[in-house]
Structure 1
């Protein structure tokens, strides 16, 4: 869910421009009905899908995008490369402060809430990942990453291709929380909402205090033999007596956009409504200035919020966590050398995080290229980000990797187990 706060001071102009469905019956009704529904401000168009298919499948994938180009070398610190500290004399995370060190890499100390998951083998990092060639424009890079089909003139995202290759065709298989990710754009049915508690049947609002809209829909479809009737009746009945869903205590999630979004995602997944792919955004990672040190700065704040929200999310999921995999990525990384403003300018290579089901965790993956201490030096990409995503698709879904990533031959990363 995109941050609603003002852009960070010093962020580039390019970046600056840029519900609960508290009862599972409502979502199931949406998923099986071939009709248009209003969910918050979104209109969902769907085609019929058998009710038995709702909730089918073995796993769900949550894709969390760190908007603004997060500095992967601050989140997962290559302290074993001597150039790292030399190139960042003020903002480098010292080797003595990192967590889960393997002698070369370590986690930023503000990622401490994720340490129990790391130690349990449920979190892994893949470093020096990214696009095959540098693209330093935020929105051009976002679109390239999310289309994942270089050279194509079609505006179809890789997640839309993934959803379209899954069994069934209900819109609840693909969900965007907040602004719809371009990775979801395309012909396959999907839906989006900004707040789970805003899910409504169109017309059932303050202007209808006696619930005439719901009674009308129930009367219209109550005795119909149309194949959509049962689904619509179920949805109307569920909306009529919506009740707050029980979730993790509010204090367990940080009071941030990301905390709110992941709370909604957890409620959706626990509702078992057939959601297979969900996207969430966290903004404000464009740290040209005031990335800071371990004593102050925006990296500390963002890393802490990210870790707390993810830790609360997996606690909230409970037993459902055994079928949920989270992928964390950003459009590109930052330069090796710090600038004069305690920040970093646009770079290339980055880190990806994998959490949850099927992850061979507690380890760092990828081929480290070595760093150079020159003004315009980048972290060179040695693993195409699609290879990481392809491994998730192959091991956690039934979709074809060749369909999701046309013309791409992935390399073996080794960070995921089979279903």
Structure 2
């Protein structure tokens, strides 16, 4: 049965939104529909947005950055033109063909200069601020990650987890959520540690306990069993391999693709799944950026294109939100890479929303427009961007 949102869920959603610094004022889904699904892809390490999405004909950019670390408009390796601006030729990296197709379908929104409003170039600090939905060091630490709060607000009572991290451990964005599981793969099912004896020991240990740990343990066991029971099997009870829809090819994106396939499979099995997250690391390109970026963008684009094809017929609204903790310096360093910067690119795409074709504010790269004279300036608070995606995803569908 499809989980439905009632008055209490909408009330919880409003309260959760108010608790998140800057993530407020959202409209929520029609109570007669299944909850929307938000998939977060976090690019850990600080993606060089100016390499992935280049203003190819910007004279200041051309002057300040070596050609190998720009996506150009012509010649070998020319990028994909987006037709996003009447005055600037924005190009996606040559390896981002899958993402460019989604943009051309008018199902993607791009914010080219978003970020944390308080200046920080620390991976740890920037990621911690974003995970809690905060804008500065002075903001009170949230009890939950922002994605956990979103999930808690909209989850119902359907069997199975309300959120998953398709990797080996829960993420900071899902911290504090009772009904979240780390699910690296569903290929072999979800067995508790130690098999039946281990399951019995865990249940005995936490049976009847009313403390937070005991309740969380019982909930995790129940959610794992519920998801495990939904996996398709042969007559001999062997779990069948997952078959993606729409000709999706996750193999072209390696381990990242395998994680996205897990998300897609869980989304189809669990109508009550509200959120999922996959991290893709390796974006800290202080050296060797040309070849690193080629591999990273290829993996990212192919994986997301496969997920997009696979979820085409999912019978509810869904969005993929892609972000990184910050961008990188305009000028390259002496090692053929770029150092920690400020603003970066956030993108979102999916089915059923109204954001397709949106292109956010661009502050420019002239010397007087740069932050501290070296970085792309943060033109939009990442919280406003996330809130826009959340509002679009969960808004009442038009009649």
Residue 92 (1) aligns with residue 70 (2): yes
Deviation track 1:85-124 (CA, whole Å, cap 9, x = no partner) reads 1111242222221213324312111101223222111122
In the alignment, which of 100, 107, 128 is matched to residue 122 of structure 1? 107
**Equivalent residues, number:** 330
> For residues 172 and 275 of structure 2, what CA distance do their matches in structure 1 show?
14
Residue 177 (1) aligns with residue 166 (2): yes
In the alignment, which of 240, 245, 260 is matched to residue 244 of structure 1? 240
> For residues 128 and 234 of structure 1, what CA distance do their matches in structure 2 show?
42
Point out the more displaced range, 68-77 or 371-380.
371-380
> For residues 197 and 224 of structure 2, what CA distance do their matches in structure 1 show?
22
Relative distance call for 1:377 and 1:232 in structure 2 (3 A) is: closer
CA contact (8 A) 2:103 2:356 kept: yes
> What are the residue-to-residue correspondences of 1:161-310 with 2, within 5 Å?
161-168=149-156, 172-178=161-167, 179-202=169-192, 205=195, 241=237, 243-248=239-244, 251-292=249-290, 297-310=291-304
In the alignment, which of 47, 55, 64 is matched to residue 41 of structure 2? 64
Relative distance call for 1:376 and 1:345 in structure 2 (3 A) is: farther
> For residues 223 and 170 of structure 2, what CA distance do their matches in structure 1 show?
26
The residue number in structure 2 matching 1:348 is 342
Relative distance call for 1:238 and 1:282 in structure 2 (3 A) is: closer
What SS class does the counterpart of residue 110 from structure 1 fall into?
Answer: coil
In the alignment, which of 327, 330, 334 is matched to residue 324 of structure 2? 330
Relative distance call for 1:356 and 1:78 in structure 2 (3 A) is: same
What SS class does the counterpart of residue 381 from structure 1 fall into?
Answer: coil
What SS class does the counterpart of residue 265 from structure 1 fall into?
Answer: helix
Relative distance call for 1:142 and 1:85 in structure 2 (3 A) is: same
In the alignment, which of 379, 385, 388 is matched to residue 376 of structure 2? 379
CA contact (8 A) 1:253 1:263 kept: no
Residue 75 (1) aligns with residue 73 (2): no
The TM-score with structure 2 as length reference comes to 0.73
Query: 5+ residue gaps in structure 2?
Result: 2-31, 201-218
CA contact (8 A) 2:42 2:324 kept: yes
CA contact (8 A) 1:334 1:378 kept: yes
> For residues 335 and 228 of structure 2, what CA distance do their matches in structure 1 show?
56
> For residues 266 and 237 of structure 1, what CA distance do their matches in structure 2 show?
17
In the alignment, which of 82, 87, 98 is matched to residue 101 of structure 1? 82
Query: 5+ residue gaps in structure 1?
Result: 1-23, 25-54, 214-227, 400-416
Once the two structures are TM-superposed, the CA of residue 360 in structure 1 deviates from its matched residue by 2.7
Once the two structures are TM-superposed, the CA of residue 243 in structure 1 deviates from its matched residue by 2.2
Once the two structures are TM-superposed, the CA of residue 80 in structure 1 deviates from its matched residue by 3.5
Relative distance call for 1:316 and 1:98 in structure 2 (3 A) is: same
> What are the residue-to-residue correspondences of 1:146-165 with 2, within 5 Å?
146-149=131-134, 150=136, 151-165=139-153
Point out the more displaced range, 167-176 or 146-155.
167-176
What SS class does the counterpart of residue 281 from structure 1 fall into?
Answer: strand
> For residues 153 and 325 of structure 1, what CA distance do their matches in structure 2 show?
27
Once the two structures are TM-superposed, the CA of residue 396 in structure 1 deviates from its matched residue by 1.5
RMSD: 3.6
> For residues 398 and 353 of structure 1, what CA distance do their matches in structure 2 show?
19
